[in-house]
Structure 1
Amino acid sequence: MSYSQIEELKSRIVEIQQKIDRAARNGGRSGKDVTLIAVSKTVDISQAQAAFDLGIHDFGENRTQELKSKQQAIPQANWHMIGRLQTNKVKDIVGKAVLIHSLDSWHLAQEINKRAQNLNIEMPVLLQVNISGETQKAGVDPADVRGFLDSVGELTALRVKGFMTMASLSSAGEESRPVFAELAALRDKFKEKSFSQVELKYLSMGMSQDYEVAVEEGANMVRIGSAIFT
């Protein structure tokens, strides 16, 4: 990347972090409580490396092969699997991603657990919840979350660390607020209950078009791609 391109990237990152700080203050928190995950699925390794050099330490990928190759190139970064994960790709992700954001079924949970057991590790995941109710979106129905959490103790290598959701891609800003507010309420509902191997620490919600609203509603992980890598 050229000097001017790096400077432009730096400017965008600084602006996003400032907006996160402001949104967090509006929600009564500190921006330091929010992890900015740069979604690098559309960029090459050199751009991801430049973002890392500018202080971004967490990256999100939608595809298993892209995550593997970029994780090998920049192993110091934290690589998150944020896209839909097929069961036959679990072996490529468990042990490489620091966090799987897209656990969307019990069958997938079983496969992740099996692979983690084989590697003798614990695998942190987020339960994807389909708050918007759109049929094309993956995720557990909100009404089924309690039963899922009740059963997680059967999967000894799995650790549910929180929830993830996506608002409608056609929504922006305020239009996304009800979805984010509902997921935060769901987390609050179950946070103090005792589930084996469940710690509802993270809310992963908000993308380039609506991350400020997500942070105001309690997100402590935001997944931002196009606003960083224009």
Structure 2
Amino acid sequence: MTLIGRTRARGVETLTLDAPHHRNALSAALVGELADALTDAGEDTGVRAVLLTHTGTTFSAGADLRDPPAPHALVGLLRQLVELPKPVVARITGHVRAGGIGLVAACDITVASHAATFAFTEVRIGVVPAVISLPLLPRTDPRALARYYLTGERLDTAEAARIGLLTAAGDDVDEVLAPVLDGLRRAAPEALAETKRLLTARVLETFDRDAADLTALSARLFASAHAREGMTAFLERRDPRWVV
């Protein structure tokens, strides 16, 4: 079963997360298929930009707890989004949780409808938003991130835009996107690639410096007793034992 839809219109390659029955959770299979689609788009001279979107009411629920990707695979996917020589635009019309926010943060331009919500739910299941911090920490407000990392509270689109997670939001996401995609289509491909390189340099420095340590932290916490309890509680739709 294909987990990533691919269509193209006027130089924009649309990659669609298409596992709505699993809330587009980041399984090992979905991460691998998305990485392959990004590789193809990056090498195709007919692609001017990539639009990353989704089916269903959830953009991505984060890591698939039944079939999670290896931490290094998720790091590789996030870095690929940042390094891709084509701009990547996220189109979001649903909920985004945990690791799914890492995908959003790794994109160059992020646009959402007001129906979208965001939450860093890792601490509530006994893990840490380690790997997704690689694109998030250089691009978002640190004081706000401290609050939402530590509490798992939900953010609406206005707050997500205020802290730097979203570029723009509106009632009609495609209306907001129209001038963005028009601008990318009017830009020279080499100029786009070099401008993106300029904009992502600081993010890639974070990957170079911290990826190994954060990958190890993620692996250690996912194997912990707290994580086992938190994930079991989530799947059983109950509070973990530590809730007071």
Q: TM-score range by the shorter chain?
A: 0.3 to 0.5
Q: TM-score, normalised by structure 1?
A: 0.32
Q: Per residue, is there more helix in 1 or in 2?
A: 2
Q: TM-score, normalised by structure 2?
A: 0.31
